[in-house]
Amino acid sequence: MENLIEAIILGVVEGLTEFLPVSSTGHLLLLGHFLGFESNGKSFEVLVQLGAILAIMLVYFRRLLDIAMRLGSDPQARRFVLGVLVAFLPAALIGALAHGFIKTVLFNPVLVCTSLIAGGLVLMVVDELELEVKHEDATRFPLSMYLKIGLVQCLAMIPGVSRSGSTIVGAMLLGASKRAAAEFSFFLAMPTMAGAFAYDLLKNYKTLTFDDTILIVVGFIAAFCSALLVVRLFLDYVSKRGFALFAWWRIIVGMVGLAGLWIVG
- Which residue, 90, 100, 57, is CA-closest to 166? 90
pLDDT digits over 102-148, tens only?
877 787 899 999 999 999 999 999 999 989 999 999 999 999 999 99
pLDDT at 210: 85
Residue 2 has pLDDT above 70, yes or no: no
Q: Which residue range is the domain that position 16 belongs to?
A: 2-264
Q: What integer is the mean pLDDT of 181-201?
A: 89
What letter does residue 24 receive in the DSSP assignment?
Answer: H
pLDDT at 1: 63
pLDDT at 232: 77
Residues 2-12: b if buried by 16+ CB within 10 A, e if exposed: ebeebbbbbbb
pLDDT at 149: 97
Residue 218: CB partners within 8 Å, gap ≥ 6?
Answer: 4, 7, 8, 11
pLDDT digits over 28-83, tens only?
889 988 888 877 767 787 888 889 889 989 989 999 999 999 998 999 999 999 99
Judge whether 243 and 123 are in contact, CB under 8 Å: yes
Amino acid at 119: G
Where would I find the H helices in 162-243?
163-173, 178-204, 210-241
pLDDT at 111: 92
pLDDT at 29: 87
Q: What integer is the mean pLDDT of 225-243?
A: 86
Amino acid at 60: Y
CB atoms under 10 Å from CB of 221, counted, come to 17
Where residue 177 falls (left for φ over 0; alpha for ψ -120 to 50; beta otherwise) is beta
Q: What integer is the mean pLDDT of 231-250?
A: 88
Residue 152: CB partners within 8 Å, gap ≥ 6?
Answer: 166, 167, 169, 170
CB atoms under 10 Å from CB of 132, counted, come to 6
Judge whether 50 and 189 are in contact, CB under 8 Å: no
Cα(159)–Cα(52) distance, rounded to whole angstroms?
17
CB atoms under 10 Å from CB of 103, counted, come to 18
pTM: 0.89
Cα(192)–Cα(56) distance, rounded to whole angstroms?
13
Where would I find the H helices in the chain?
2-17, 24-35, 44-47, 49-59, 61-70, 75-97, 99-101, 109-128, 143-153, 163-173, 178-204, 210-241, 244-264
What letter does residue 141 receive in the DSSP assignment?
Answer: -
Quote the number of domains for the chain.
1
Judge whether 27 and 12 are in contact, CB under 8 Å: no
pLDDT band at 222 (very low <50, low <70, confident <90, very high): very high
pLDDT digits over 132-189, tens only?
999 999 999 999 999 999 999 999 889 899 999 999 999 999 999 999 999 999 999 9
pLDDT at 148: 97
- Which residue, 40, 32, 45, 42, is CA-closest to 5? 32
**pLDDT exceeding 70 applies to what percent of the chain?**
98
